[in-house]
Structure 1
Amino acid sequence: ITGTPVVSRIVVDPRINEVAMKAVKAVDEKPHGFYCLDLKEGADGRIYVTEINLKAHTTLPLWSYIATRIFRMPEWGNIAYLYLRLGLGEDVDLKSIPKFDIYPEVTMLRHIDVGVWILYEDKNMKIKVL
Structure 2
Amino acid sequence: MPTSSFEFAKAWIDHYKGWGDFVAAEMLTKDTVTWLSIWREGELIVAQGRARQGWTHGSRAVSGITGVTKVGVTFSSPELDRIAESTIRAVDPKPHGIYGVDLAYDAEGVPNPTEINISRFFTTILFFTEAGLNMPEIFANLALFGERPRLEKVRSPLKDGLMWLRGMDRAPMLCTEADLNSQIDYGRHS
TM-score by length of 2: 0.53
**Which residue in 2 is equivalent to 1:9?**
73
Q: CA deviation at 1:99?
A: 2.1
Alpha-carbon distance between aligned partners in 2 of 1:119 and 1:9, rounded to the nearest angstrom: 10
Identity across matched positions, percent:
28
SS at match of 1:38: strand
**Which residue in 1 is equivalent to 2:179?**
125
Query: Do 1:86 and 1:92's aligned partners in 2 also have CA atoms closer than 8 Å?
Result: yes
Gaps in structure 1 of 5+ consecutive residues? 69-76
Count of residue correspondences? 114
**Which residue in 1 is equivalent to 2:48?**
none
Give the structure with the higher percent strand. Answer: 2
Is the counterpart of residue 92 in structure 1 residue 143 in structure 2?
no
Query: Do 1:6 and 1:109's aligned partners in 2 also have CA atoms closer than 8 Å?
Result: yes
Give the structure with the higher percent helix. Answer: 1
**Which residue in 2 is equivalent to 1:116?**
172
Q: CA deviation at 1:6?
A: 1.3
Gaps in structure 2 of 5+ consecutive residues? 1-64, 181-190
Structure with higher Rg: it is 2
Q: 1:49-97 CA deviation, whole Å, 9 max, x = no partner?
A: 111111221222x1243133xxxxxxxx21112222233x224134x33
Alpha-carbon distance between aligned partners in 2 of 1:7 and 1:52, rounded to the nearest angstrom: 21
**Which residue in 2 is equivalent to 1:83?**
139
Please identify runs of 4+ aligned residues in structure 1 that moved more than 6 A.
none
Q: CA deviation at 1:29?
A: 0.6
What one-letter code is carried by the residue in structure 2 that aligns with 1:93?
A: R
Aligned ranges 1:101-112 → 2 under 5 Å:
101-105=156-160, 106-112=162-168
Check 1:13–1:80 CA distance in 2 against 1; reply closer, same or farther (3 A cut): same
SS at match of 2:90: helix
Query: Do 2:127 and 2:174's aligned partners in 1 also have CA atoms closer than 8 Å?
Result: no
TM-score by length of 1: 0.74
**Which residue in 1 is equivalent to 2:8?**
none
Between 108-117 and 35-44, report the one with greater CA deviation. 108-117
RMSD: 2.2
**Which residue in 1 is equivalent to 2:121?**
56
